[in-house]
Chains A and B, each alone.
Chain A
Amino acid sequence: MTTPSLGLQKAPAPGLKNPVHDAQKIFKVAMNALARPGSLQEMPELGLEVPAPLTQTVAALALTLLDYDTPVYLDPALAQEVDVVDYLRFHTGAPIVALASDAAFALISDPAKMSAISGFAVGTDEYPDRSTTLLIAVDDMTNTSGATLSGPGIKTETEFDAAPLSPAFWPQMIANQTLYPLGVDVLFASPTHVAGLPRSSKISMKEAR
């Protein structure tokens, strides 16, 4: 699994304590999050120590889902930290790409300054799965205010919001939904929970807030 020629200055922080069972539990959280959009899925206790500004929850998702086959885009705040880059390279082997549209996954640690969602891969008509999944670190998530979601995985409708997000985020995700079945999918990662916003979710915003 390890790549010997990284030229690391120091050993990266350790990865998952139990790579088999921890990865299964983390995947299950991500699966349930996308299968039930907007629901807050609790992360297991992992005791991961990860280099800032990477968060424990984003790191857990990355270690579970990324490998040599998944080009990953890092937002500027992550890309400029050598320890973060080394940690992800060492534990996942995922090639880090500069172009958002080349990425199978994008790790966003500073969502208030996130680049345009339209820059990520949305798949093709024949292969809508060739798209970017965004892993976005947030501080808080709620089901009592925010956007109203409906569609697959939601019985009637559900409210959902996350913070911090850029003011452009929801309008961009509404635009993303119009591309269906193309589009990006989002996993929001708070310190304790994960929530999903797949491209299939219909989003409406209240007129006045």
Chain B
Amino acid sequence: MTEQTYDNFADHYNFAYLDEQTKRMIRRAILKAIAVPGYQVPFASREMPMPYGWGTGGVQVTAAIIGANDVLKMIDQGSDDTTNAVALRGFFVKTTGVEATTKTSEATIIQTRHRIPEEPLKANQTLVYQVPIPEPLRKLEPRETETRKMHALEEYGLMHVKLYEDIAKYGEIATTYAYPVLVNDRYVMDPSPIPKFDNPKMHEMEALQLFGAGREKRIYAVPPHTKVESLDFEDYPFEIQKFEEPCALCGAENVYLDEVILDDKGARMFVCSDSDFCEDRRENGHVGHMAANPITESENRGADA
């Protein structure tokens, strides 16, 4: 959509909902976040026309960067079709008139809740994460004044103690989501509740990664080509989840799979969490071992929501 066609909407909405003063404030926070990778920049989060749990931080970041020529993809747990993704995509289409897509490769801005697409992102793309709890040290230290000091002094010993307690208790690091990372050798950062399977994708990614936490009023960033290491120990190196079988629908290996329950007798299958990736593979002739299964797309995704 062009600026001219957008302007037909302009009587009813601010472009991307936010007023220009708010966008400027968020944009300044984004620039600081990029200059200090992994550091949480405070910002004056605004009330948005949706509840906090719906990703108001990501929405504000997207609203501050989006332009009339952007192409937007909105994903929730890997899917473009959950209620959350559909509602947020509709919000931006209504308030900006931009083109929306489900194709990862066609998007210039991808706003995500809890996944990184399987297809490697490119330099002309920006990945915006919805973050519920931005502070990786919060579970260890509830006081903001203290966590801020810990970041300032690079006092990350407690974090390692917590991970090591896991090893003592379970024989491995039990954290599988929101697994903490060290960014640019300086700040420990919460990657948002993505599966740790996705952590390696953050490292040296071609695309800019922006993180917005609405309720907690924080923005942080990982610029392109930036070192992102998952915390670990020499004797217990970081490992991603492994899946025993490929995607039942498209046969993909080395991708993140969701379990789908097929009936009340316990039959189940594992399919790509990234629905666009899976569809794309099937369109290109890849067939999984249960591809003939009558389960429909919508039921498949419903099991994930």
Q: Is the CB of A126 within 8 A of B148?
A: yes
Complex: A151 Cα to B37 Cα, angstroms: 11
Interface-forming stretch among A21-29, A74-82, A108-116, A160-168? Answer: A21-29
Which of A25, A70, A153, A199 sits near B225, CB closer than 8 Å? A153
Chain B 10-33 per-residue mask, 1 if CB under 8 angstroms from chain A, else 0: 000011000011011101111111
Q: Is the CB of A198 within 8 A of B34?
A: yes
Q: Quick check: is B261 within 8 A (CB to CB) of the other chain?
A: no
Q: Interface extent on B, as a size class?
A: 35 or more
> Which one of A126, A129, A133 has the greatest number of beta carbons of chain B within 10 Å?
A129
Interface-forming stretch among A2-10, A31-39, A83-91, A139-147? Answer: A31-39
Q: Quick check: is A49 within 8 A (CB to CB) of the other chain?
A: no
Complex: A23 Cα to B16 Cα, angstroms: 13
Complex: A34 Cα to B33 Cα, angstroms: 10
In the complex, what's the smallest C-beta–C-beta distance from B128 to chain A, in angstroms?
12
Q: Interface extent on A, as a size class?
A: 35 or more
Complex: A25 Cα to B65 Cα, angstroms: 9
Complex: A133 Cα to B27 Cα, angstroms: 13
Closest Cβ neighbor of A185 among chain B residues: B35
- B 181-229 contacts with A by CB, 8 A: 184, 186-187, 208, 221-227
Closest Cβ neighbor of A24 among chain B residues: B67
Q: Is the CB of B28 within 8 A of A199?
A: no
Q: Is the CB of A126 within 8 A of B149?
A: yes
Closest Cβ neighbor of B10 among chain A residues: A20
In the complex, what's the smallest C-beta–C-beta distance from B247 to chain A, in angstroms?
32
Q: Quick check: is A154 within 8 A (CB to CB) of the other chain?
A: yes
In the complex, what's the smallest C-beta–C-beta distance from B62 to chain A, in angstroms?
12
Q: Quick check: is B256 within 8 A (CB to CB) of the other chain?
A: no
* Residues of chain B with a CB closer than 8 A to A151's CB: 184
* Residues of chain A with a CB closer than 8 A to B225's CB: 152-155
Q: Quick check: is B92 within 8 A (CB to CB) of the other chain?
A: no
Extra contacts besides A31-B27, A36-B224 (12): CB < 8 Å = A20-B14, A21-B68, A24-B23, A28-B65, A65-B31, A127-B42, A129-B41, A152-B37, A152-B223, A152-B226, A153-B34, A198-B35
A and B contact pairs by CB, cutoff 8 A, 29 listed: A18-B3, A21-B3, A24-B15, A24-B67, A24-B68, A25-B67, A27-B23, A27-B27, A31-B31, A34-B31, A34-B34, A34-B223, A35-B221, A35-B224, A36-B224, A125-B153, A126-B148, A126-B149, A126-B151, A131-B32, A151-B184, A152-B37, A152-B222, A152-B225, A153-B34, A155-B224, A185-B35, A200-B35, A200-B184
